[in-house]
Amino acid sequence: MRKKIISTDDKKKFNSDHHWLDLEKISVVEVTSEEEAFPIESALLPGKVSGWRASSQGKQMIRILFDNPQRLRWIRLKFEELEIERTQEYDLRWSPDGGQSYQEIIRQQWNFSPEGATNETEDYQVELPTVTILELSINPDISGRNAFASLKELRLA
């Protein structure tokens, strides 16, 4: 077996060494709502730190419509909740045909707690050859309480 011992610095480089797509140049983004101080660009573009936050409570949708079909190999989602305890569920799916059909990538729940788990980062290695639409649906609190959906970061490679 071939192996190599790497330092933690090498691990960070490996995990972040993706050529993220420039979504500003290759897509249109639709969003169900956004708070003025936390626009969707803050979650999708590098160098932004505030992330996106919905302006209305309840389930929200972020849809990325690509100008041309894209091959996706990596999807990174980062969520953050510092204020309230809640269980969030999100569903990530894609369409190869402009929305005629969709295939689910992942449906997942996460428990946020201000005294404990305040961040969730998910990296998905995928092989999606011709993505025309990528859709992220977020239910910020499955118990039905009125919570605001948010997304710290979404990156695609």
Q: Does residue 14 fall inside a structural domain?
A: no
CB 60 within 8 A of CB 138: yes
Q: Does residue 16 fall inside a structural domain?
A: no
Q: Does residue 82 fall inside a structural domain?
A: yes
Which range of residues forms the domain containing residue 151?
Answer: 22-156
Q: Where are the alpha helices (DSSP H) in 8-109?
A: 8-16, 23-26, 41-44
Q: Whole-angstrom Cα distance, residue 76 to residue 154?
A: 6
Q: What is the pLDDT of residues 37-68, one digit of tens each?
A: 999 999 999 888 899 999 999 999 999 999 99
Q: Does residue 2 fall inside a structural domain?
A: no
Q: Does residue 6 fall inside a structural domain?
A: no
Q: What is the pTM of this model?
A: 0.87
Q: What is the pLDDT of residue 31?
A: 98
Q: Does residue 103 fall inside a structural domain?
A: yes
Q: Does residue 61 fall inside a structural domain?
A: yes
pLDDT band at 10 (very low <50, low <70, confident <90, very high): very low
- Kindly report the average pLDDT of the chain as a whole number: 92
Q: What is the pLDDT of residue 39?
A: 97
Q: What is the pLDDT of residues 73-82, one digit of tens each?
A: 999 999 999 9
Q: Does residue 98 fall inside a structural domain?
A: yes
Nearest partner of 52 among 83, 78, 24, 91, judged by Cα: 78
Q: Whole-angstrom Cα distance, residue 43 to residue 59?
A: 18
Q: Which CATH number is 93's domain given? A: 2.60.120.260
pLDDT at 124 over 90: yes
How many separate domains does the chain show? 1
